[in-house]
Structure formats: structure tokens, C-alpha cells
Amino acid sequence: MTTTHASTPPATRRRVHGLLAEFHDPASLMHAAEKVRDAGYRWWDCHTPFAVHGLDQAMGVQRTILPILVFGAGLTGTSIGFILQAFTNSSSLSLWALVWVTGYPFLISGKPLLSLPAFIPVIFELTVLLSALGAVGLMLLLNGLPWLSHPLLANKRFLRATDDRFFIVIESRDPRFFRSRTEEFLKSLGAKVVEAVEA
């Protein structure tokens, strides 16, 4: 089973999603990933049955900017929480339509209308809520998710990515992708099998 389908032209000409290279152990995958990284490919990924520590560095994956975005989401929650309460409890303003809008200024147990301690629980909750929703939502967004389907999932060989095989996939949209040259390159990295994945 070490034949390469990529070298034989497919019966019907279909677009190629990318090249799939199979490895049998994490160490060889790691070394191959370092070479792919150094070759300057950008649209590629590794698929392993379990988390391989150090693979991020081997692939040259940058740290995510997600934390900064989540911090922003949290600050948004803080501001909304404060503005919402400060406005509804204790202030009024003229909207763009020149309508004078007033909130509900209730006097509760003699406290000032604008009393921060009473607002803090809501501010806190909104901060947590927007941070949490922002973390999940922005994570999906940054990953380009959700996808209804992915070309790799139609590939029989790729099924073993959840079992005992390790894969590198270089996508055809990568500017350095040339089918024959990339295939030779992947083989030279010690891939047991290299095959084309149909789009």
C-alpha cells in the first residue's frame, strides 16, 4: 500500500484540495513539520490522533491574538453594564432625534441615584458574559469555523488520523504549492504515503 495516487492522473479531472502525507510516528511528523515550516509553506496543517507536545513550535504557529480580543470583549461588557445602569437609574440624554430620554430614577433606601457599589454585580456579570461568549465566538471566527464539510473527511486514508496515523496536509491554495514538486518534497521528508485529496 505504498502506491501514490498523485502520480497517476485521475479519471475525471477534479480540483485538488491538497496533498496528504502519512507518517507512522509523532517524531517523524515533528521533523517533517519543521522542514515544511522552513520551506515557507503557509497553508498547511498537521493532523494527529492525540496532542503532540511541541508541534506548535515545530509548525511555527504564532500565538493567538484571542486573549487580547477577549480582554476587549470584557471591557465592552464592563462599559455596557455601567452605561446601561447609569443611564436607566440616574440620567437622561438627548438622542440624535433630539428626543429627551429619561430612565427610571427610583430612590432606593436613600442611596444616591448614581451609586457604583449597587451597579458592580451587573457590571461584573456582563463582563464575564461578554468575555465568555467572545472567547467562544471569536475562537470559531479566527478558526474559520464552522464548516459544513471538509475535503479531508471524504478521504479514506485520513480516517486513521483518529487512530494511529499522523498526517501533514499542504493545501493547493498555498502559493508555493506545485503538485509534482510538493509531492517530491513530502516524500523526501520520509512520508510513507503521499496522496492527493480531492476538493
Partner 1 sequence: MAHAVNMTQSPPAAVSGKGLMTRARTMQLVGCAFLLVGAFLGWRGGDNFLMKAWMQGWLFAVTLSLGALFFITIQHMVRAGWSVVVRRPAEALAGNLQWLWLGFIPFVVLWLQGRLDVLFPWANLEHLAQVDAAEAHTIAKKSAFLNVPFFMIRAAIYLTVWALLARFFVSNSAAQDNDGRIERTLRMAKWSGPALILFGLTTTFAAFDWIMSLNPLWFSTMFGVYFFAACCAGGFSTIALLCMRVQDQGYLKGVITAEHYQDLGKLLFGFGIVFWAYIAFSQYMLIWYGNIPEETTWFMARQIGQWRLVSVALLFGHFILPFLFLISRWTKRWRGTFLFGVVWMLVFHWVDLTYLIQPVIPHDLAQFATYDEVQAAYAHEYAPIFNPVLLTFSFGFLLLTLGGALSRLTRTGLLCRNDPRLAESLRFENY
Q: Which residues bind partner 1 (CB under 8 A)?
A: 51, 53, 56, 67, 71, 109-111, 117-118, 120-121
Query: 3-class DSSP state for residue 91?
Result: coil
| Least distance from partner 1 to the Cβ atom of residue 163, Å | 23
In angstroms, the CA 23 to CA 150 distance is 21
- Cell, residue 36: 515544511
Q: Considering the complex, state which of residue 39 and residue 61 has its C-beta at the smaller distance from partner 1.
A: 61
In angstroms, the CA 42 to CA 115 distance is 53
Sign of the dihedral defined by the CA atoms of residues 81, 83, 89, 94, in that order:
negative
Question: Could you tell me if 80 and 131 are in contact, meaning their C-beta atoms sit under 8 angstroms apart?
Answer: no
Q: Considering the complex, state which of residue 64 and residue 102 has its C-beta at the smaller distance from partner 1.
A: 64
Q: Considering the complex, state which of residue 10 and residue 121 has its C-beta at the smaller distance from partner 1.
A: 121
Q: Considering the complex, state which of residue 40 and residue 54 has its C-beta at the smaller distance from partner 1.
A: 54
- Cell, residue 58: 515545530
Query: 3-class DSSP state for residue 78?
Result: helix
